[in-house]
A and B are shown apart, each in its own frame.
Chain A
Amino acid sequence: MRRAAVLGTGQTHHRTRRTDVSMAGLCREAIDRALLDAGVDWPQIDAVVLGKAPDLFEGVMMPELFLAEALGAAGRPLLRVHTAGSVGGATANVATTLVRAGVHRRVLAVAFEKQSESNAMWALSIQPPFTAPIGAGAGGYFAPHLRAYIRRSHAPGHIGALVAVKDRRNGALNEYAHLRQPDITVESVQASPMLWDPVRYDETCPSSDGACAVVIGDQVAAEACAHQVAWIRATAMRTEPTFFAGKDHVNPRAGAEAARALWQAAGITDPLEQVDVAEIYVPFSWFEPMWLENLGFAEPGHGWKLVEAGETRIGGRLPVNPSGGVLCSNPIGASGMLRFAEAAMQVMGRAGDHQVPHARTALGHAYGGGSQFFSMWVVSSS
């Protein structure tokens, strides 16, 4: 199979409301940084892939159409991907496939969400006919799964707070992060209001406006770069239904099978040993130990032990979310691509103050819907 690599990445400053820019301006902020980082200019871009979550979040039907020119897509192929919360990752994977198929030399992948244009809670609360309403929001939807994880794994109650402290302190090292809280403590997290038991206010992702972009190139394009690129060793995507008898919301089979396929394609036999850093989609703190198990970094029921031992901090055995993760910035459609981009930045040695020393192999992970859409990639420095 042809090789593909990340040539450059870019992202916006993520905020609750980016009223200083339009949707086009938001996307361009990320795109311009990605092109600069990749050292390529518009004539070298062959195609554009845009990802974002539901159009109702901005109130525009298929916004890539009106954005086409601002995205640099005029006269080029433009694909629009939508796979719920996993979309940012899926968008990068589709762009990778375009390169691997030999169709294009360089593809620009962009993902964004500008939640302040509309009202995300309203967008998620429309009740289609003949469908039972849940009406719980994402936190209320996932809280029972986290509670089930605690019951199954016998994890101590402070694990979630440990994750929140780690991610928010990491976010303080990331100039683009929405929430930057260097002084947060386990005590302060545990003193924050309980929203959806066991999820407290400080263990919850924010709502953000933001965008992310990556330039993906083929072997020739990668070798033409003067700087270190991130070679894409493998990608994987898996989907399962939202509800069915026997669905395991704590350890979804689609996520586990995607991870297995990913490790196999990348030639990784012991993920905990062979992966240096992982950017995992953790919108609520307790998802970190759950996904560590689902991804095969720990046996079922043991993921929380890595967290408790501090192994997921920068400097630990497997630093998780050195960027601060979704807990610090959550422009939904872009959140998955931010994970993928951070993984690339880490192995390119371009992660600034949140750089994990000697990171050579990194995981980018995203999930969406009712823990049913999974997209992931592994990137390496060689």
Chain B
Amino acid sequence: MSTEVAVIGFAQAPCLPSAGTTSGVETLVPVLGRALAEARLDRREVDFWCSGSSDYLAGRAFSFVNAVDAIGAYPPICESHVEMDAAWACYEAYVQILAGEAETALVYGFGKSSAGQLRRVLALQLDPYTVAPLWPDSVSVAAVQARCAVDAGVVSERAMAEVAVRSRADARANPYSQVSGVFDLDDLLAGPYLADPLRGHDCAPVSDGAAALVLAAGERARRAPRRAWISGMAHRIDPQGLGERDLTEVPSASAAAQAACLPGDLDVAELHAPFTHQELLLRAALGLGDRVRINPSGGALCGNPMFSAGLARIGAAAGEVMSGRARTAAGHATSGPALQQNLVCVLEAS
């Protein structure tokens, strides 16, 4: 693979409990304009468009079609859509550029979680014949994983709370975050359980939001004001069955990291961990040492817009590189219950 690909623009909407709009598309449209402006690219110069969203979040079939109406798809465009977090749309666009089928790509994701009860909606991702009829909601499934990890001594409730304290403090510098502030560790640990062993601070907020990211190949990327080169991107999935794997390990994350050639000496890693214990599991699975700065944006714990939160991790990691704060950074995305599916994108300054 000789083609070089870089992130040259990124924008996101503020993470809000309710965006107050009729659809996720309304949240998305201004974000597209800002991402293109950062990349100094005109809409007509985009060779390939790729999006990630979910019909179930919107509560209707073909929900992504509304976005096609809104992005200005005329004259006709080259376009595709994944029913996944837009981090995987980013992967598809990256591969399009590697294949030489496009020189520039715009990736976007959007979701309006406030349209329903997210933890119940996500229960519909489980096996429809044997598991989903029991309605184990997404927070409870995460709590099962956290309980396994606590009992195995892999994580502790105190270490989990430390993740929340650090994330919320860092999120103060992120104008798009939904939760931020200075919190006392013992105060958090004195709070009630939401789903034992998870407390409120262990769980990401329910967010409406959207994000857009611009990719470009080699020379095209060098003409952009700023860029973060993608040195590797890969993803893997584990079997879903909650009793079929050790929930305290994340083999698909480890395999994705290996395939993406994730270096050990990263400056920054933006991890898509909607629960505190998942950040700790991911750090171990990805082999991240203590020197690696985790989630300077505050991460998904401070704003978790479904179907764009993973893309936003790549965008935040790229931002660290483009601003010069990091030489190497990684963006990570997850999907499915209990960290079932994982993607790793490695970004470098040169």
Whether the pair B65, A103 counts as a contact (CB closer than 8 A) is no
CA distance A81 to B335 in the complex (A): 15
* Chain B nearest Cβ from A4, distance in angstroms: 10
Residue of A nearest to B121 (CB): A61
Give the 5 A-B residue pairs with the shortest CB-CB distance, closest first: A54-B61, A254-B76, A101-B99, A239-B79, A101-B98
Q: State whether the Cβ of A188 lies closer than 8 Å to any Cβ in chain B.
A: no
Can you add 11 more A-B contacts, CB < 8 Å, to A81-B82, A128-B23? A60-B125, A61-B56, A61-B122, A61-B124, A65-B336, A68-B237, A79-B82, A81-B83, A84-B62, A84-B65, A102-B99
* Chain B nearest Cβ from A7, distance in angstroms: 19
Q: State whether the Cβ of A191 lies closer than 8 Å to any Cβ in chain B.
A: no
Residue of B nearest to A237 (CB): B78
Q: State whether the Cβ of B104 lies closer than 8 Å to any Cβ in chain A.
A: no
Residues of chain B at the chain A interface (Cβ within 8 Å): 1, 22-23, 49, 54-56, 58-65, 68-69, 73-84, 88, 91-92, 95-96, 98-101, 121-122, 124-129, 131-132, 234-241, 244, 251-252, 255, 335-337, 340-341
Whether the pair A75, B255 counts as a contact (CB closer than 8 A) is yes
Q: Given that A75-B238, A79-B88, A83-B81 are contacting pairs, would A22 and B61 also be in contact in the complex, using a CB cutoff of 8 Å? A: no
Whether the pair B62, A369 counts as a contact (CB closer than 8 A) is yes
Contacts of B126 in A (CB 8 A): 66
Whether the pair A238, B336 counts as a contact (CB closer than 8 A) is no
Q: Given that A60-B128, A128-B58, A372-B68 are contacting pairs, would A69 and B239 also be in contact in the complex, using a CB cutoff of 8 Å? A: yes
Contact with B along A69-89 (1 / 0, CB 8 A): 100011111111111100000
Whether the pair B341, A78 counts as a contact (CB closer than 8 A) is yes
Interface range, A side: 35 or more
Contacts of B98 in A (CB 8 A): 101-103
Whether the pair B240, A60 counts as a contact (CB closer than 8 A) is no
Whether the pair A83, B239 counts as a contact (CB closer than 8 A) is no
Residue of A nearest to B56 (CB): A61
CA distance A63 to B76 in the complex (A): 30
Whether the pair A240, B80 counts as a contact (CB closer than 8 A) is no
Contacts of B56 in A (CB 8 A): 55-56, 61-62
Q: State whether the Cβ of A98 lies closer than 8 Å to any Cβ in chain B.
A: yes
Whether the pair A126, B59 counts as a contact (CB closer than 8 A) is yes
Residues of chain A at the chain B interface (Cβ within 8 Å): 1-2, 22-23, 53-63, 65-66, 68-69, 73-84, 90, 94, 97-98, 100-103, 117, 123-124, 126, 128-130, 237-244, 253-254, 257-258, 369-370, 372-373
20 A-B residue pairs with Cβ-Cβ distance under 8 Å, sorted by A, are A1-B100, A57-B61, A61-B122, A62-B83, A62-B335, A65-B335, A66-B125, A66-B128, A68-B237, A68-B238, A75-B251, A78-B341, A80-B88, A81-B81, A100-B99, A102-B1, A128-B58, A129-B22, A238-B76, A239-B76
Whether the pair B99, A1 counts as a contact (CB closer than 8 A) is yes
CA distance A69 to B55 in the complex (A): 23
Q: Given that A56-B61, A61-B124, A128-B23 are contacting pairs, would A240 and B95 also be in contact in the complex, using a CB cutoff of 8 Å? A: no
Which of B79, B83, B84, B234 gathers the greatest number of chain A CB atoms within 10 Å? B83
Whether the pair B76, A257 counts as a contact (CB closer than 8 A) is yes
Contacts of B80 in A (CB 8 A): 81, 83, 90, 94, 237
Whether the pair A66, B84 counts as a contact (CB closer than 8 A) is no
* Chain B nearest Cβ from A332, distance in angstroms: 11
* Chain A nearest Cβ from B4, distance in angstroms: 13
Interface residues of chain A: helix, strand, loop or mixed (majority): loop
Residue of B nearest to A1 (CB): B100
Whether the pair B1, A101 counts as a contact (CB closer than 8 A) is yes
Contacts of B239 in A (CB 8 A): 68-69, 74
Whether the pair A82, B83 counts as a contact (CB closer than 8 A) is yes
Contacts of B73 in A (CB 8 A): 239-241
Whether the pair B81, A101 counts as a contact (CB closer than 8 A) is no
Contacts of B100 in A (CB 8 A): 1, 100
Which of B76, B88, B335 sits near A240, CB closer than 8 Å?
B76
Which of B61, B127, B129, B336 sits near A123, CB closer than 8 Å?
B61
Contacts of A98 in B (CB 8 A): 95
CA distance A303 to B128 in the complex (A): 45
Residue of A nearest to B240 (CB): A66
Contacts of B238 in A (CB 8 A): 68, 74-75
Whether the pair B125, A61 counts as a contact (CB closer than 8 A) is yes
Which of B64, B68, B88 gathers the greatest number of chain A CB atoms within 10 Å? B68
Whether the pair B54, A61 counts as a contact (CB closer than 8 A) is yes
* Chain A nearest Cβ from B95, distance in angstroms: 5
CA distance A130 to B336 in the complex (A): 31
Whether the pair B59, A239 counts as a contact (CB closer than 8 A) is no
CA distance A238 to B47 in the complex (A): 11
CA distance A328 to B82 in the complex (A): 28
* Chain B nearest Cβ from A61, distance in angstroms: 4
Whether the pair B129, A22 counts as a contact (CB closer than 8 A) is yes
CA distance A375 to B126 in the complex (A): 31
* Chain A nearest Cβ from B84, distance in angstroms: 5
CA distance A369 to B75 in the complex (A): 17
Q: Given that A68-B340, A75-B251, A76-B237 are contacting pairs, would A60 and B76 also be in contact in the complex, using a CB cutoff of 8 Å? A: no
Residue of A nearest to B77 (CB): A239
Contacts of A84 in B (CB 8 A): 62, 65
* Chain A nearest Cβ from B105, distance in angstroms: 12
Q: Given that A65-B336, A65-B340, A97-B101 are contacting pairs, would A75 and B236 also be in contact in the complex, using a CB cutoff of 8 Å? A: yes
Residue of B nearest to A63 (CB): B128
CA distance A90 to B316 in the complex (A): 30
* Chain B nearest Cβ from A22, distance in angstroms: 6
Which of B22, B75, B82, B240 sits near A69, CB closer than 8 Å?
B240
CA distance A65 to B124 in the complex (A): 11
Residue of A nearest to B58 (CB): A128
Contacts of A57 in B (CB 8 A): 61
Whether the pair A97, B96 counts as a contact (CB closer than 8 A) is yes
Whether the pair A66, B127 counts as a contact (CB closer than 8 A) is yes
Which of B55, B76, B124 sits near A253, CB closer than 8 Å?
B76
Contacts of B236 in A (CB 8 A): 75-77
Whether the pair B65, A82 counts as a contact (CB closer than 8 A) is no
Residue of A nearest to B337 (CB): A65
Whether the pair B99, A78 counts as a contact (CB closer than 8 A) is no
Contacts of A83 in B (CB 8 A): 79-81
Whether the pair B237, A74 counts as a contact (CB closer than 8 A) is yes
CA distance A123 to B83 in the complex (A): 16
Residue of A nearest to B239 (CB): A69
* Chain A nearest Cβ from B144, distance in angstroms: 16
Whether the pair B68, A239 counts as a contact (CB closer than 8 A) is yes
Residue of B nearest to A241 (CB): B69
